[in-house]
Amino acid sequence: MSYHLSVPWFLCLTLILVGMPLQAVGAITAKKIATIGIGSGPELRHPSDVLVNSRGEIFVLDGVNNRVVHYDAQGQYLNQFGKGGSKPGEFNNPLGMAMNRDGNLYVADTGNSRVQFFSSDGQYLHHIELPHDGDGRKPDPTDVAIDDVRNKLYVVDNDNHKVLVYDLKQKRFKRYIGGMGMKGGELRWPFSIKLDRQGRIFVVDVINTTVKSYLPDEKRHFDASIGKWGVERGELFRPKGVAIDDRDEVYISDSFLGVIQVFDNQGRFLSVLLDEEGQLLKFITPTRLHFDQKGLLYVVEMFAHRVTLYEIGR
């Protein structure tokens, strides 16, 4: 995965961007509520994803440590599962995960080129081997999403520039979304994926510096592009995470600019996320984002080794 973050590149680029005109406008604010991963349980190292179940329990994918760390609704450590390796239930630098309606987890086991399925208490159940691309390149899963209504599992295949569509009932891959390119619904090194309440598919298209949305209808996929390259408001430099709130507004993290921007689901820019004083809210390598059932926003700050929790205001 040639585009993955490297610490020296990120630090240098941060210094360059400090003086650039990324100005905050709008009225969407975020109040910091808590920090996950500091002060309770094992230390995190470059976490890459976070999910919250219906009971408010928090699951953090601590990929460099090859594990999922489980916290209660107050952020207190409960337990963990996984370790490094290639056997069932073991991980090799996993990057993304998704949760079904029963609270069970699908984990994109990136280094092992597979997706693994775990019960809500962390017991390994089974795994899905991914198909190789036509030219023989290994699959490179970086994220997953589950559509419980349509019984579909979506797997982001980063190095092959596509999203694989797996039928959970028939237990086979049926088609894919994307393909290498810069036009329409084509992708270049996609990284993250999220679904909205209607089943629309939002894919972070990193090198094309946009988020692509697709309809779940198999006959008509591509719907819209959100954002474009740049460092001004409404523009993206290195998008990495996406989440959709209960207003169907789309939050996009920019790992290099260190900000989160908000768009409507057709791509109209709404705001850069602000702090309570109306100032630009800065993050340290924000990657994956997640809204829980209460509407609280969880932000994975990869190089800060933490997950921060915010209450959104207007």
Q: Tell me the pLDDT band of 26, cut-offs 50, 70 and 90.
A: low
Spatial distance between the Cα atoms of 132 and 112, rounded to a whole number of angstroms: 13
How far, CA to CA in Å, does 50 sit from each of 116, 235, 236, 244, 287? 16, 25, 22, 14, 10
Q: Which long-range contacts (CB under 8 A, 24 or more apart) does 73-79 make?
A: 75/34, 75/35, 75/36, 75/40, 75/309, 76/40, 76/41, 77/40, 77/41, 77/42, 78/41, 79/122
Is 60 exceeded by the pLDDT of residue 98?
yes
pTM for the full predicted model: 0.91
* Cα torsion through 41, 312, 286, 42, rounded to 10: 0
Mean pLDDT in residue range 83-91:
98
Helical ranges in 176-279 per DSSP H: none
Q: Tell me the pLDDT band of 256, cut-offs 50, 70 and 90.
A: very high
Spatial distance between the Cα atoms of 133 and 213, rounded to a whole number of angstroms: 23
| CA 292 to the chain's CA centroid | 14
Spatial distance between the Cα atoms of 150 and 200, rounded to a whole number of angstroms: 12
Strand (E) or helix (H) holding 309: strand 306-313
Q: Check: CB of residue 70 under 8 Å from CB of residue 59.
A: yes
Q: How many CA atoms lie within 13 A of 148 on its CB side?
A: 11
Residue-wise pLDDT for 28-75, tens only, equals 999 999 999 887 789 999 999 999 999 999 999 999 999 999 999 999
Signed CA dihedral, 258, 95, 107, 209: sign only: positive
Mean pLDDT in residue range 289-299:
97
Supply 198's token pair: 């209607």
Residue-wise pLDDT for 148-176, tens only, equals 999 999 999 999 999 999 999 999 999 99
**Percent of the chain at pLDDT above 70?**
91
Residue-wise pLDDT for 180-230, tens only, equals 999 999 999 999 999 999 999 999 999 999 999 999 987 668 899 999 999
How far, CA to CA in Å, does 113 sit from each of 61, 81, 125, 196? 17, 19, 17, 26
